[in-house]
Structure 1
Amino acid sequence: MSWGDKGRQLKHKLMQVDWYLYFGLLFLLSVLATITWSGLKLHEILNDADALPIEAIAIKGDRQFTSDEEIQQALQSLMQRSFFNADVLTVQQALENLPWVYKASVRREWPAKFKVTLQEQQAVAHWNGEAWLNVHGEVFNALAKPEVASLPMLSGPDDMAEEVLTNFIQLDELLKINGFQLASLHLSPRHAWQAELANGIKIELGREDKMSRMQRFINVYPTLIQSEKTLARVDLRYDTGVAVGWDDTNKRTDNK
C-alpha cells in the first residue's frame, strides 16, 4: 500500500472520530437542556400557589386568649404560598409573635395540609405593672384579660424576674399554711424585699433572711392584732423585734 492510500485511510478514520464526537456532544447538550427545562418547570409548579395550593390548616392546642382573627392574620403569608415553598419557620415566628402565644409548631402533612400547634402563655403574676410573668419566670407583654386580673403583683429588675417569682412562691407557701395570703412582692434596685398581704398589711423584709423574718411576723401577729388599731405596716429589718405602723383611720379587722 502506498503512502497516499495510508494517508487517505487515516483521514477517513479521523473524520469518523470527529462525527462521533460531534453527535456525542450534541446528545449531551440535549440531555442537559432537558434536565434544565424540567427543573425550571418543576420549580415553577412547586412555587405556584394555584397549582399546588394549601387546602387546609388544622389548628390544635388549648386557647384562651388568642383569637381566630389573630391567627388568620399571622397565617396570611402562608396562604399565599404553595404547599412546598411555604416558609415554615417564618410562619412559626409570626405565630410566636402573637402576645399570648408562648410556643408554636408548624409542619406539613401530605398532600396539601398544614398542622399548627399552639401553646399559650401561662401567666402567674403581673410584672412591673403592665407586663406579665409566665410559669417559667419569663417576662412577656400582652393586653390584660379579666381572667388573670386577680393574679399577684410582682415587680423588680427585669433580669431578676425568675428570682422574684421563686421567692414569691416560697413566701406564699409559708404564709398560706399559717392562714395568710401574699398579694404582692417587690424587689428594689438595692435588692431589698417588700411584701404585701391580701389584707393590706405591708411587710419590710430587707435584703437577707426573708423566710426567717416572715416567720417572725407570723409568730408576733397574734400579739399585734390585740390592739384596737388596724395594723398597716410591719418592719422586720431588725435582728430582734419589729417596728409597727398603725392605720388610725380604720378599726382592726380579723381578715388575713
Structure 2
Amino acid sequence: MSWSQKGRQLTQSLKQVNWYLCTGLLFLFSVIFGIGWIAHSLHDVLNDADALPIEAIAVKGERQFTSDAEIQQALQSMLANSFFNADVMDVQKALEALPWVYHASVRREWPAKFKVTLQEQQALAHWNVASWVNVKGEVFDALMHPELENLPLLAGPEGSAKEVLTVYQQLNELLSINGFNLASLHLSPRHAWFAVLDNGIKIDLGREDKMSRVQRFINVYPTLMQSDKKIDTIDLRYDTGFAVGWQKTKKENRR
C-alpha cells in the first residue's frame, strides 16, 4: 500500500473519530440540558404556593393566654409559601416570639399539612412589677391576665431572678407549714432580703441566715400576738433578738 493510500485511510479514520466525539458531546450536552431544565421546572413547582399549597395547619398544646389571632399572624409567612419551601425554623422563631409561648415545634406531614405544637410559659410570680418569672427562674415579658394577679411579687437586681425564686420557694415552704404565706420577696442591690406576708407583716431578713431568722419569727409570733396592737414590721437582722414595729391605731393616726 502506498503512502497516499495510507494517508487517505488515516484521514477517514480521524473524521470518523471526530464524528463520534461530536455526537457523544452533543448527547452529553443534551442530557445535561435536560437535567437542568427538569431541575428548574421541579424547583418552580416545589416553590409554587398555588401548585403545592399548604392545605392544613394543626395546632396542638395547652393554651391559656395565646390567642388564635396571634398564632395566625405568626403563621402568615408560612401560608404564603408552598408546602416544600416554607421555612420551618423561621416559623418556629415567629411563634416563640409570641409573649406567652415558651417553646414551639413545627414539622411537615405529607402530603400538605403542618403540625405545630406549642408550650406556653408557666408564670410562677411577678418579677420587678412589669415582668414575670417562670418555673425555671427565667424572666419574660407578657401582658397581665386577671387569673395571675394574685401570684407572689418577686423583685431583685438584673440576673437574680433564679436565686430569688429559689429562696422564695424555700422560705414559703417553711412558712406555709406553720400557717403563713409569703406574698412578696425582694432582694436589694446590697443582697439584703425583705419579705412581706399575705397578712401584711413586713419582715427584714438581712443578708444572712434567712431560714433561721424566719424560724425565729415563727417561734415568737404567738407571743407577739398577745399584744393589743397589730404587727407592722419585724426586723430580724439581729443575731439573737428582733425589733417590732407596731401598726398605729386610729387614735394615734389622728394626732
The TM-score, its normalising length taken from structure 2, stands at 0.97
- One-letter amino acid of the counterpart of residue 243, structure 2: A
- Aligned pairs for 1:122-201 (under 5 A) are 122-201=122-201
- Aligned pairs for 1:21-170 (under 5 A) are 21-170=21-170
- Cα distance in structure 2, aligned partners of 1:80 and 1:238: 66
- Cα distance in structure 2, aligned partners of 1:143 and 1:196: 25
Q: Which runs of 5+ in 1 are unaligned?
A: 252-256
Q: Deviations over 1:66-97 (max 9, x none)?
A: 00000000000000000000000000000000
Cross-structure match for 2:235: 235
Alignment partner of 1:39: what SS? helix
Is the aligned partner of 1:225 residue 2:217?
no
Q: Deviations over 1:185-213 (max 9, x none)?
A: 00000110000000000000011100000
- One-letter amino acid of the counterpart of residue 142, structure 1: A
Alignment partner of 2:64: what SS? coil
Deviation at 1:149, TM superposition (A): 0.7
Q: Percent identity?
A: 71
- One-letter amino acid of the counterpart of residue 216, structure 1: R
- Cα distance in structure 2, aligned partners of 1:160 and 1:250: 40
Deviation at 1:223, TM superposition (A): 1.1
Alignment partner of 1:85: what SS? coil
- Cα distance in structure 1, aligned partners of 2:158 and 2:180: 27
- Cα distance in structure 2, aligned partners of 1:12 and 1:68: 79
Alignment partner of 1:175: what SS? helix
Deviation at 1:230, TM superposition (A): 1.1
Alignment partner of 2:215: what SS? helix
Alignment partner of 1:54: what SS? coil
- Cα distance in structure 1, aligned partners of 2:224 and 2:245: 10
Cross-structure match for 2:19: 19
Does the CA-based 8 Å contact 1:164-1:187 persist in structure 2? yes
- One-letter amino acid of the counterpart of residue 136, structure 1: K
- One-letter amino acid of the counterpart of residue 82, structure 1: S
Alignment partner of 2:233: what SS? strand
Deviation at 1:158, TM superposition (A): 2.6
- One-letter amino acid of the counterpart of residue 148, structure 1: L
- One-letter amino acid of the counterpart of residue 127, structure 1: W
Deviation at 1:249, TM superposition (A): 2.6
Cross-structure match for 1:205: 205
Q: Which runs of 4+ in 1 moved over 4 A?
A: none
- Cα distance in structure 2, aligned partners of 1:204 and 1:249: 22
- Cα distance in structure 1, aligned partners of 2:48 and 2:3: 67
- One-letter amino acid of the counterpart of residue 214, structure 1: V
Q: Cα RMSD (Å) of the superposition?
A: 0.9
Alignment partner of 2:227: what SS? coil
- Cα distance in structure 1, aligned partners of 2:232 and 2:115: 55
Deviation at 1:248, TM superposition (A): 1.2
Alignment partner of 2:221: what SS? helix
Q: Which runs of 5+ in 2 are unaligned?
A: none
- One-letter amino acid of the counterpart of residue 75, structure 2: L
